[in-house]
Each structure stands twice: as structure tokens, then as C-alpha cells.
């Protein structure tokens, strides 16, 4: 019997994916869902077309407020009844209010300018363009292991060769350096660096928190050489990792912070660049230097406003969940040392590194079968990401940890390293 989600059959959806998108994508979706497709979402849970439920502790960090947060949905409905798209030749009050609210929420003394986009790549592209225009320089420093997106400009700052292969030459002048203070003296030439672009915690790169001392030294070196510091917090910001902005919390004094993913409340695509007046100067002089048709669209702006409020209301809940996952994942790693090489993370962004990519793949598939959705790291396939939402209950957190523990205990021998080890 074919599973249906009420809008067509699962078989039909997978067949359309195979025919019109990618056979490989259809295969992955079919395996992950055991032949079913996602049907609806509510809070921390998804409903599949065959009636099964699953905890959503993945969704690539988008659902920080869970699925269909009621305050966000209400804001979108109000805007739908008012003006869902902007004329783009008149000012829009909702868009202007989101810009004001972002400045007040972040660093109102320094980051006083805002550019709005739809996704993380938008934000990265805008920030790189601003840095080059504002300095008249072309070189950008990024970090080994970084992920900043797959558009051609953002891809130049992304480390993984899998995405860069066969596309060179990309944006010229990007240099990747190791996350090591000793690499800094040789990284900066005389007056040639426009900006450094850095994730305080590398998400796609395996959930790798960079050392605070290195991040501060990197920012200090950039500023000493007249370069801008661009903090990519598309995944780490908005209290995903605890503080509002990790870069500000660590004392980096960024010249721009890039936000996305969770800013749309799990409902609308929204991103933002929060910048100093110095970095933003090219757009101040000519606001048409960098534009997109749907930049600051009213539905997204309404969503962002509701999201900022909801996130602040739930901040204490995030601290509680962070403690639960920190302790729970450490205990699971201790019980399965033959499978788990390391657990890393901060706040509500956690990476579980398995001994092999094949083991991680097996665990990912079995987690889905048992009702826990997590996100793989495409650039580090041996690492699985757990991204619990702020609205998860203690019981849902414990349920997720129990599923992970049980799946690790049941991993078949062929996915375990050879030699003696605890089972």
C-alpha cells in the first residue's frame, strides 16, 4: 500500500524527484523515510505520510523554534492579509522595523546597518562585496574546514574540495589558513586583505568550535591590517549556541555578523548582514550597489520580527536543553567508545563524530527508522549533527538521547572497527 501525505502519494513524490530532480536524491529520500515522505510538522515533531512520527533535531539548523511556531505563523498570517510582497519603489514599514529590531537586538553601538536577503549565500555574497568595495582590496582570508555556501563567491571561501571541484577558477584572492595562531603572521600581506570570514563554530565542517584565543587573535590581526572581520553566524547565531552572537560574546568585535537559517522562524527564508557604518559605506553611498528582488520582503520581515521575540522568550529553555545534551551525549560517548570518536558542540549545536563515515551513515539511517531526524555533515561524513529546537521538552530531549544510545548499541558488527571493544 502506498503511503500518502494527503497531497499526493509518497511513491509519486519520489518518482517526480527521480525524474525531474535527481535519481540519487530520490534514493536518499526514499531510504531516509523508508518509502514515506514528510507530511506535516508541529513543535519538535514531524509526521510522515505513513503515519509515523519523528523528532526533528536536524533540518540543518533552520527549525530553532520548531515546526510552525504559533507566534511566527500568526505574524505571517497578519502580513498575508496586509501586503505579502513589496512594490520595491516605496518604503515598507515591516521591512524597516525588522532592520531596526535587528540593530537593537544585536550590537546597537557598532552594528548599526542592515542588509536583508533570503539565505546564507545571499548574506555571504553581500558581505564579501562590501568588504572589497569598502577597502579597495581583493584578498579574503578564510579558515580550513570552513563552509560559507555554494554560490560562486561564497564557494571560494568554502574549504571542501567536493564542492569546488571542476568549478575553478572561483572568486580570486581567497586564502585558507589553519585555525592556529602561529599561522597569522604570514597570512596578512602589506595592505592586501579586505576581510577575514570565519565561523565561530564550524557547522558543516564537523561541528568544530574554534578556540576563542585564535578567534580573538584573528580579529585583532585583521583590524591591525585594516581588514574587516566578517563573522558567519548563519548557523551559530540567534542563540543556537547560547549567546545572541557567539562572535560578540567572545570579544571578536566583528565588523559584520551574518544571520540566516533560524531567522525565518522555520517558516520563511530570511537572512541578514548586520554591519558597521564603515563596512556598509558602499551601500550608504549607492543603495543599488547590491540588491535582490525579494530582499526584505514583508512576509520574511514579519517572520524575523516574531522570531527575535520568540527566541528571547525561550533563551532560558535553551540553557536547560544545552545542559541536558552536553551531559547526555558525553555519557553515550562513554558507553560506545568503539563507535564514537568524539562529541563536540556548544548550546544547541552538537556533533557526534563516529569512527568511520560508514558507521555514521548506518547510524543516520537507523535513527530515522526509529524516529529521530538529525543532519549529516556533507563535508565531514563521519559526523552527525544534533540540532534540538528551543521548544523541545525535557522528555523529548531524553527521548532523542535514548534513541541515539539504542541505535549505537545495535550497530551491526560490519560497521564496527575490528578488534576487541565494548558492545
pLDDT tens across 402-417, in order? Answer: 999 999 999 999 999 8
First to last CA, the chain: 37
Residue 255, classed as helix, strand or coil, is: coil
Contacts 24+ apart (CB under 8 A), 180-186: 180/214, 181/213, 181/214, 181/217, 184/217, 184/218, 184/221
User: Between 277-285 and 120-135, two packed helices, what is the crossing angle to 10 degrees?
Assistant: 90
In angstroms, rounded to a whole number, what is the distance separating the alpha carbons of residues 95 and 300?
Answer: 8
Q: What is d(CA 30, CA 35) in angstroms, rounded to the nearest whole number?
A: 5
- 304: its cell numbers: 524575523
Residue 189 banded pLDDT, cuts 50, 70, 90: confident
Strands 113-117 and 45-48: unpaired
Reading the block at residue 154, the C-alpha cell is 561564497
From 334, 349, 327, 223, select the one nearest 278 (Cα to Cα): 223
Residue 2 pLDDT more than 90?
no
Do 265 and 116 touch, CB atoms closer than 8 A? Answer: no
Q: Given pLDDT bands bounded at 50, 70 and 90, which one contains residue 7?
A: low
How far apart CA 170 and CA 152 sit, in angstroms, is 6
Please write the tens of the pLDDT for every residue from 338-397: 999 999 999 999 999 999 999 999 999 999 999 999 999 988 999 999 999 999 999 999
Q: Please compute Rg for the chain using Cα positions.
A: 22
**For residues 357 and 385, is the Cβ–Cβ distance under 8 A?**
no
**Residue scoring higher pLDDT (170 or 133):** 133
**What number is the average pLDDT over the span 196-213?**
97
- CB neighbours (10 Å) of residue 54? 23
In DSSP terms, which residues pair with 202 in a beta bridge? 208
CATH class of 10-68+314-415: alpha beta
C-alpha cell read off for 221: 590581526
- Give the architecture-level CATH label for domain 70-311: 3-Layer(aba) Sandwich (3.40)
pLDDT digits (tens, 9 = 90+) for 294-327: 999 999 999 999 999 999 999 999 999 999 999 9
As a whole number of angstroms, the distance between CA 287 and CA 270 comes to 19
Domain extent listing, the chain: 10-68+314-415, 70-311
pTM: 0.94
Amino acid at each position: 500500500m502506498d503511503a500518502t501525505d494527503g497531497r499526493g502519494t509518497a511513491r509519486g513524490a519520489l518518482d517526480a524527484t527521480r525524474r525531474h530532480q535527481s535519481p540519487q536524491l530520490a534514493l536518499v529520500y526514499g531510504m531516509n523515510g523508508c518509502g514515506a515522505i514528510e507530511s506535516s510538522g508541529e513543535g519538535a515533531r514531524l509526521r510522515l505520510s505513513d503515519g509515523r512520527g519523528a523528532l526533528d533535531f536536524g533540518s540543518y539548523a533552520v527549525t530553532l523554534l520548531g515546526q510552525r511556531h504559533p507566534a511566527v505563523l500568526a505574524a505571517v498570517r497578519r502580513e498575508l492579509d496586509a501586503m505579502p510582497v513589496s512594490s520595491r519603489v516605496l518604503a515598507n514599514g515591516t521591512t524597516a522595523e525588522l532592520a531596526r529590531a535587528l540593530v537593537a537586538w544585536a550590537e546597537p553601538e557598532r552594528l548599526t546597518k542592515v542588509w536583508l536577503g533570503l539565505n546564507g549565500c545571499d548574506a555571504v555574497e553581500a558581505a564579501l562585496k562590501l568588504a572589497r568595495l569598502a577597502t579597495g582590496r581583493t584578498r579574503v582570508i578564510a579558515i580550513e574546514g570552513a563552509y560559507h555556501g555554494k554560490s560562486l563567491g561564497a564557494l571560494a571561501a568554502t574549504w571542501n574540495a567536493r564542492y569546488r571541484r571542476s568549478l575553478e577558477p572561483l572568486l580570486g584572492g581567497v586564502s585558507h589558513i589553519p585555525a592556529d595562531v602561529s599561522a597569522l603572521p604570514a597570512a596578512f600581506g602589506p595592505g592586501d586583505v579586505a576581510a577575514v570570514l570565519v565561523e565561530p563554530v564550524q557547522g558543516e565542517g564537523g561541528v568544530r568550535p574554534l578556540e576563542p584565543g585564535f578567534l580573538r587573535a584573528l580579529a585583532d590581526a585583521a583590524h591591525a591590517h585594516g581588514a574587516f572581520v566578517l563573522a558567519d553566524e548563519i548557523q551559530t547565531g540567534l542563540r543556537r549556541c547560547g549567546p545572541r552572537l557567539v562572535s560578540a560574546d567572545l570579544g571578536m568585535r566583528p565588523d559584520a555578523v551574518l544571520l540566516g537559517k533560524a531567522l525565518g522562524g522555520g517558516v520563511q527564508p530570511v537572512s541578514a548582514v548586520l554591519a558597521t557604518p564603515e563596512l556598509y559605506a558602499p551601500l550608504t553611498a549607492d543603495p543599488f550597489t547590491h540588491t535582490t528582488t525579494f530582499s526584505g520582503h514583508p512576509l520574511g520581515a514579519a517572520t524575523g520580527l516574531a522570531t527575535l521575540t520568540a527566541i528571547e522568550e525561550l533563551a532560558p529553555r535553551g540553557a536547560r536543553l544545552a545542559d541536558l545534551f552536553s551531559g547526555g551525549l558525553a555519557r553515550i560517548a562513554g558507553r560506545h567508545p568503539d563507535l564514537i570518536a568524539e562529541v563536540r558542540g556548544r548550546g544547541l549545536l552538537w556533533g557526534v563524530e563516529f569512527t568511520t563515515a560508514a558507521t555514521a551513515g548506518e547510524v543516520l539511517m537507523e535513527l530515522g527508522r526509529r524516529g529521530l531526524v538529525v543532519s549529516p555533515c556533507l563535508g565531514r561524513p563521519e559526523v552527525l549533527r544534533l540540532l534540538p529546537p528551543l521548544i523541545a521538552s525535557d522528555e523529548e530531549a531524553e527521548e532523542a538521547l535514548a534513541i541515539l544510545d539504542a541505535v549505537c548499541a545495535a550497530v551491526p558488527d560490519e560497521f564496527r572497527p575490528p578488534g576487541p571493544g565494548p558492545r
